Amino acid sequence: MKTTRRCDGVTRRDFVRVGGLTALGLGLGNFLGLQRLLAESKAQLIPRAKSCILIWLDGGPSHLESFDPKPDAPREVRGPMASIPTKLNGVRLGECLENTAAIMDKVAIVRSMTSPLGEHNFGTQYMMTGYKPSPALAYPTMGATLAHLRSQMGVLPSNVAVPAFPNQVSGAGYLPGSVSPFSVGGNPGRRSFSVRDLDFYAGLDLARLDRRLEFVNAINAFGDAKDASKSTPTDPDLERAYNLIANPEAKRAFTLSDEPEALRQRYGGLDSGNNIGQSCLLARRLVERGVPFVTVNSNGWDTHQDIIHLKARHAKDKNALLPSLDRAFATLVQDLSDRGMLEETLVVVMGEFGRTPKINSNAGRDHWPNCFSVALAGGGIQGGQVVGSSDALGEFPKERPITPSDLAATIYTLLGIDPATELQTPDGRPVRVTPNGSKIVSELV
Amino acid sequence: MKQIVTLLIALACGVVQSPASDRVDFVNDVMPVLTKVGCNTGACHGSAAGRGNFKLSLYGGNPQADYEAIVREISGRRINLQKPEESLIILKPTFAIDHGGKFLLDDDDDGTQLLLRWIQEGAEKVTHRELERVEFTPRTYFIEKTDVDVQLRAEAFYADGSSQDVTPWTVFSAEDSSAVRIDKDSAVATPLRGGRHIITARYLDSVAPIEIVIPLSDKPVDLAGQPRRNFIDDEVLSRLATLRLPVSPQADDSTFIRRVSLDLTGRLPEADKVMAYLANQDQNKNGELIDELVQTDAFNEYWSYKLAKWLRMGKDPNDENGIATYRLWLSNQIEKGVGYNEIARTLILATGDTHNIGPANFYRTVDGPREQAEFVSELFMGSRLRCANCHNHPLDKWTQDDYHGLASIFSKIENAQIVRVRASGDVIHPRTREPAVARIPGEYYLKDKTQDGREDLAEWLTAEDNPYFAKAIVNRLWSSLMGRGLVEPVDDMRDTNPATHPKLLNRLAEDFAASGYRLRPMLKRIATSATYARSSNTVPGNAEDDRYYSHALRRPLEAEVLADGISYVLNVPAQYGGKAPGQRAVTLVDLYTPSRTLDILGRCGREESCESETSISGGLTRNLHLLNGELINARISREEGRLARFFDADTAPMDIIDELYLVALSRKPVGATRRFWREQLANVESVEQQQGLLEDFLWSLLASSKFNSK
């Protein structure tokens, strides 16, 4: 009866050390403002990308079946799938990525990612925050940092997860809870999809909610002393919810049925059980409306058994993980390009690590952080290239090893954030956005 | 100063001192070099799969295997007896040839020289003496201010009576590297911030914490006048004095009665109880209140729920019979005040039909002996053995023998509906590939294979001198009432994760054992302390304290308690799953009864042991639901509800506000707050408008952070 889709039961609480009350927005109102002020005093770079869509392949996707096939390796490394040529001379992809192969001129692949952390939570933390996890401090994910440093443009949340953020990860880290990702919930893959609680409860209207908000603030302001204090601390989370409810135009972002049917079919997976396609479509609608960071979370990549299931789980399977990813990613990149948004939208495809080069006794692959791949497109990166390479077996980087810290520094830079920017922890100490020593991958920028 | 002098003498005499012989000792001289340089860390050759086809045991836990790997594997190419300086084990770390781990050792480094000498002497598995223990100094160190150097030191003691300074071969690492800077070469630690910092010292596979304490302010604080009601206050105030943290005053009566009622019974205090308590002038009214609360049915219900969470009850939703029997049994134990040692014993030894015998369901919580071993050690020992599945625990004393030995104790358990002990059953030790020998972790092997090892385990675990059992539960109880464990996380007790107040933890554990391991006296002890009764409002200088209890830590209500609280204030019951309306959420036998309300309010997940109550759904989801969802809106104006009844009785609007404040927050609005509500009421004219305003008021009360925390 395991509900976790990963192979171990390590949970988020292991990593939560800071800010236990922030989910309730207690007492951090001023702190939030203060931090923004501090952050803004730092020089910011000119962003190439306004927004980032992170397609997160939860569980650890196999690099050997996707972005780094080894057609010449022995059978136990090569695995059961073939490879295909791409638009780029000499660059091959796994056989399931045919749509991606056709847009390789827009895509950059890093084949020499390397990390020592082969456990799901540790790997996820490292990839999503750019920091190796530490018992002393929970680091913020890239989406949270971006939400924190960018002043919120509209009423849509700045950091959104579709359909839900991996719940083992503390999104905000040491930053205020208000920048943790908003999980839209539900199943975007269904035609009936909607985000709950966006419309007024029967009998309520904006004026009533307005008054309710005022009253909550009045009650919260009333301290344990016998009098109401002069200041009225507001509950920022409640206020953000109110602002969203009050804005019909913003709420339309979540109405996937506004999209033409043909485009929805191209993204794929409608009512199929695999919602990565429609999630990517929702992500596009969100960045179109100015949301800076959207995480599309795809489950099930922890393939300890039957690696072939990535391609098809039964004879007529059209919605296995790799073909679904291929449709979703390639369509998203093309769609963004068609709309003239690709230059300002960075798309990143990654998971917490790769998989063991040798197929195991269950015809699957186990965790392998020593070498894996990440794909990027848009956001001002130089497409049509492969950065770094792995050795003959995909076991270790052969040239240009790149760490998750380096990748994070690169993503931040593309988004206009200097990796040396300092944020403040609740106890007032400065922490860099990415660790000292992290290096920008210059080929991408 | 003295320490530095000692170290200098040791250094001057040369690092390698082998009184027994001059030959290099593989275990005691060579292995420490590999550990210090980092060859055998988890990221390098110490990983389970090794690295570059060279695998060492993690942190040198298995010298025999490491010797084989260095000397025998790949046809002995790692060692070149003819040309020692061309051995791979020299060429690689000195980066004379390409090395994935890059450059680690200078050619003239002591470590390099030592390795060379060992190879020159034949690369044999020479060992002169057996390491008995390592002493790290200082263990705890108080300094007045930051930026003062602290010399760290390690000395190894051997079975033959000899000793050696092993500081140069000891790895010192700060838990928080931004708080303490450590110079690797000199082993000098420099604290950069005030507070209490932990440095982990490792020599071979011996690890120990070093604690450095620096006051958080320049000015001493005067805590002499602070109330002391029992030993808890003595210990906490002593720590605060050392750290020079000023303390917040005692909480006011309304705050206290609400907090202690929620903590001991999971319920809001009823309005008339609050009024009586506020009016009571007796000096000992807190004590009386606590005595009364621990005797209520609500106490039994709530602590059954708390323990059910720790026991992760409700694992198998397809077998409600078992869970129901289990929960009923647990409630009976709590009600009768059965000692926690007895409870543990019964659980560990349980067998039989899980539909009739409640505790037998203990073996249905997880599947498999290894999982059972992890569960039992986390629950009853507050220790995480998980790491020791694949390798000896790098930060603790647990070995693979401990892990698989404990698992072996459970290997004969069959956990179908009827739990029984089979005649045989094994757990394969991954290193020996043989059945693991049953073992009491960290203690002794159970050689007799025919015996049910659970007897020995229960006996050992609940013995008065067991070092883990009482502390593990006491720490959880403390965390429940104080908002933070003395050891945090509560199931990660180990030497290298020491308690913030070690002496207090010991005294609590002794106190607990002395009163028969019963929950009530322990909870009363904590609740009657002045520490517990402190205000959560901060005073200048203690706002950032989150672990020394200079002020109370404001805590969110558990999802179930909050849901029950909302139903109570509205006076309209909720319905969970297919259960009868009105069943309170804390009494749900299956902790995972499907409920969006409980999920949104931050119910803990199935895989968690539920210590921290953080909402996973995120602030926006929760607040959207509060604003537009059914949780409050669907019930606020129901005719049987509290508000409708006030309307029916034509209660004056300001009285309604007073009453609702009292029910929800255990106080009445006064002063400016009261004026604020009066003004609001004055702004509306019709009865309908007035009722709408009062609805909005009640909604706001329930959505406020004042309500959903304690």
Quick one: what percent of chain B has pLDDT higher than 90?
61
For chain A, how far is it from start to end, CA to CA, in angstroms? 45
Of A280-289, B441-450, B473-482, B675-684, the range with the lowest mean pLDDT is B441-450
In degrees and rounded to multiples of 5, residue B675 shows phi and psi of -60, -40
Q: Pick A13's closest partner by Cβ from B254, B608, B619.
A: B608
CA-based nearest distance B615→chain A, Å: 6
Q: What is the pLDDT of residue A2?
A: 34
Which of A216, A368, A371, A390 would you mutate first to test chain B, the one with the most B CBs within 10 A? A216
| Torsion sign (Cα): A209, A211, A213, A219 | negative
- Residue A434 contacts B where some CB pair is shorter than 8 Å: no
Asked whether residue B148 is assigned to any structural domain, the reply reads yes
User: Do B616 and B559 meet the contact criterion of CB atoms below 8 Å apart?
Assistant: no
CA-based nearest distance B81→chain A, Å: 31
Residues B430 and B500 in one domain: no
Q: What is the pLDDT of residues B272-309, one digit of tens each?
A: 999 999 999 999 999 999 999 999 999 999 999 999 99
User: Do A6 and A120 meet the contact criterion of CB atoms below 8 Å apart?
Assistant: yes
- Residue A25 contacts B where some CB pair is shorter than 8 Å: yes
Residues B62 and B189 in one domain: no
Q: What is the pLDDT of residue A44?
A: 54
Instruction: Say yes or no for a CB contact (<8 Å) between B706 and A220.
Output: yes
Q: What is the pLDDT of residue B612?
A: 44
Residues of B in contact with A25 (CB under 8 A): 619, 705
Residues of B in contact with A225 (CB under 8 A): 252, 537
pLDDT at position B77 over 60: yes
CA-nearest residue of chain A to B365?
Answer: A1
Q: Pick A11's closest partner by Cβ from B254, B607, B709.
A: B607
Q: Which residues contact B70 (CB under 8 A, 6 or more apart)?
A: B78, B79, B89, B123
Structural tokens at position B640? 């049987």
Residues B448 and B489 in one domain: no
Q: Supply the DSSP symbol for B497.
A: B
Q: What is the pLDDT of residues B12-71, one digit of tens each?
A: 444 444 444 678 889 888 888 888 888 887 777 887 667 778 888 888 878 888 898 888
Residues of A in contact with B602 (CB under 8 A): 23
Q: Pick B672's closest partner by Cβ from A22, A228, A428.
A: A228
Given B94, B120, B146, the domain boundary residue is B120
How far apart (Å, rounded) are the C-alpha atoms in residues A166 and A183? 10
Q: Pick A220's closest partner by Cβ from B316, B622, B704.
A: B704
Compute the 3-state secondary structure of chain B and give helix, strand, coil in percent, each to the nearest 5: 45, 10, 45
Residues B448 and B480 in one domain: no
Residues B578 and B674 in one domain: yes
Asked whether residue B391 is assigned to any structural domain, the reply reads yes
For chain A, domains (ranges, CATH) are 35-194+255-432 (3.40.720.10)
CA-based nearest distance B237→chain A, Å: 22
Residues B620 and B641 in one domain: yes
Burial of B366 (0-12, 13-18, 19+ CB in 10 A): buried
Q: What is the pLDDT of residue B318?
A: 64
In three-state secondary structure terms, A283 is helix
Instruction: Say yes or no for a CB contact (<8 Å) between A185 and B535.
Output: no
Choose among B156, B85, B76: nearest CA to B118: B85
Burial track B178-208 (b if 16+ CB lie within 10 A, e otherwise): ebbebeeeebbbebbbbbbbbbbbbbbbbbb
How far apart (Å, rounded) are the C-alpha atoms in residues A8 and A1? 13
Beta bridge partners of A387: A110
How far apart (Å, rounded) are the C-alpha atoms in residues A288 and A338? 13
pLDDT at position B5 over 90: no
Q: What is the pLDDT of residues B204-231, one digit of tens each?
A: 878 899 999 999 888 899 999 999 999 9
Instruction: Say yes or no for a CB contact (<8 Å) between A21 and B555.
Output: yes
Q: What is the phi-psi region of residue B352: left when phi exceeds 0, alpha when psi lies from -120 to 50, beta otherwise?
A: left
**Which whole-number Å values give the CA distances from A389 to A71, A80, A352, in the listed order?**
15, 22, 18
Location of structure tokens 């030790």: B429
Burial of A114 (0-12, 13-18, 19+ CB in 10 A): buried
Location of structure tokens 């019974």: B265
How far apart (Å, rounded) are the C-alpha atoms in residues B27 and B158? 12
Which of A2, A30, A112, A197 would you mutate first to test chain B, the one with the most B CBs within 10 A? A197
Instruction: Say yes or no for a CB contact (<8 Å) between A135 and B696.
Output: no
Give me chain B's average pLDDT, please: 89
CA-nearest residue of chain B to A184?
Answer: B621
Which of A117, A212, A291 would you mutate first to test chain B, the one with the most B CBs within 10 A? A212
CA-nearest residue of chain B to A211?
Answer: B696
Residues B187 and B259 in one domain: no
Instruction: Say yes or no for a CB contact (<8 Å) between A200 and B693.
Output: no
Asked whether residue B492 is assigned to any structural domain, the reply reads yes
- Residue A196 contacts B where some CB pair is shorter than 8 Å: yes
Asked whether residue B332 is assigned to any structural domain, the reply reads no
CA-nearest residue of chain A to B633?
Answer: A201
- Residue A26 contacts B where some CB pair is shorter than 8 Å: yes
How far apart (Å, rounded) are the C-alpha atoms in residues B520 and A319? 56
Q: What is the pLDDT of residues B101-159, one digit of tens each?
A: 777 888 788 888 888 899 888 888 888 888 899 999 999 899 988 888 999 999 999 99
Instruction: Say yes or no for a CB contact (<8 Å) between B618 and A201.
Output: no
Between B560 and A221, residue with greater pLDDT:
B560
Q: Are strands A182-183 and A159-162 parallel, antiparallel or unpaired?
A: parallel
CA-based nearest distance B201→chain A, Å: 16
Asked whether residue B604 is assigned to any structural domain, the reply reads yes
Q: What is the pLDDT of residue B608?
A: 47
Residues of B in contact with A286 (CB under 8 A): none
How far apart (Å, rounded) are the C-alpha atoms in residues A94 and A100? 10
How far apart (Å, rounded) are the C-alpha atoms in residues B260 and B287? 11
Q: Residues A340, A345, A347, CA angle at the centre, nearest 5°? A: 125
Tell how many helices (H) and how many strands (E) occur in chain A.
12, 16
Tell how many helices (H) and how many strands (E) occur in chain B.
27, 13
Instruction: Say yes or no for a CB contact (<8 Å) between A224 and B252.
Output: yes
Q: What is the pLDDT of residues B644-682, one digit of tens each?
A: 999 999 999 999 999 999 999 999 999 999 999 999 999
Q: What is the pLDDT of residue B4?
A: 45
CA-based nearest distance A83→chain B, Å: 27
Quick one: what percent of chain B has pLDDT higher than 70?
94
CB pairs < 8 Å spanning A and B: 199
Residues B506 and B398 in one domain: no
Burial track A353-380 (b if 16+ CB lie within 10 A, e otherwise): bbbbbbbeeeebbbbbbbbbbbbbbbbb
CA-nearest residue of chain B to A159?
Answer: B620
Residues B84 and B188 in one domain: no
Q: Pick B612's closest partner by Cβ from A13, A136, A431.
A: A13
What one-letter code names the amino acid at A325? L
Asked whether residue B281 is assigned to any structural domain, the reply reads yes
Q: What is the pLDDT of residue A43?
A: 44
Q: What is the pLDDT of residue B58?
A: 81
Q: What is the pLDDT of residue B564?
A: 97
Residues B523 and B563 in one domain: no
CA-based nearest distance A415→chain B, Å: 24
Residues B576 and B680 in one domain: yes
**Alpha helices, H only, A236-340:** 236-245, 248-251, 261-267, 276-288, 321-338
How far apart (Å, rounded) are the C-alpha atoms in residues A220 and B591? 31
Instruction: Say yes or no for a CB contact (<8 Å) between A9 and B607.
Output: yes
Residues of A in contact with B55 (CB under 8 A): none
Residues of B in contact with A429 (CB under 8 A): 178, 193
Residues B183 and B257 in one domain: no
DSSP string, A113-132: E--S--SHHHHHHHHHHSS-
Q: What is the pLDDT of residue B48?
A: 67
Given B214, B241, B272, the domain boundary residue is B214
CA-based nearest distance A46→chain B, Å: 30
Instruction: Say yes or no for a CB contact (<8 Å) between B619 and A240.
Output: yes
CATH number, position B173: 2.60.40.1080
Asked whether residue B356 is assigned to any structural domain, the reply reads yes
- Residue A301 contacts B where some CB pair is shorter than 8 Å: no
Number of domains in chain B: 5
How far apart (Å, rounded) are the C-alpha atoms in residues A149 and A419? 12
Choose among A48, A6, A7, A29: nearest CA to A238: A29
Residues of B in contact with A196 (CB under 8 A): 624-625, 629
Structural tokens at position B127? 């060992």
Structural tokens at position A343? 């230059």
Asked whether residue B155 is assigned to any structural domain, the reply reads yes
Q: Pick B623's closest partner by Cβ from A199, A241, A431.
A: A241
Q: Pick B43's closest partner by Cβ from A1, A116, A167.
A: A116
Q: Pick A182's closest partner by Cβ from B620, B680, B697.
A: B620
In degrees and rounded to multiples of 5, residue B452 shows phi and psi of -85, 105
Beta bridge partners of A110: A374, A387
Residues of A in contact with B554 (CB under 8 A): 21, 26-27
User: Do A365 and A70 meet the contact criterion of CB atoms below 8 Å apart?
Assistant: no
Output the CA torsion A24→A27→A30→A33 (10° steps). Answer: -20
How far apart (Å, rounded) are the C-alpha atoms in residues A71 and A53? 30
Residue numbers of the domain that contains B364 = 344-462
Element (H, E) at B191: strand B188-191
Q: Supply the DSSP symbol for B176.
A: S
Q: What is the mean pLDDT of each run of 10 residues along chain A (445 residues)?
A: 43 30 30 38 66 97 98 96 96 98 98 95 95 86 94 84 84 85 92 93 94 92 49 70 92 95 96 94 96 96 96 94 98 98 97 96 95 97 96 95 97 95 82 93 93
In three-state form (DSSP H/G/I as H, E/B as E, the rest C), the secondary structure along B568-584 is HHHCCCCCCCCCCCCCC
Given B88, B120, B152, the domain boundary residue is B120
Q: What is the pLDDT of residue B21?
A: 61
User: Do B380 and B389 meet the contact criterion of CB atoms below 8 Å apart?
Assistant: no
- Over residues B340-354, the mean pLDDT reads 97
Q: What is the pLDDT of residue A403?
A: 97
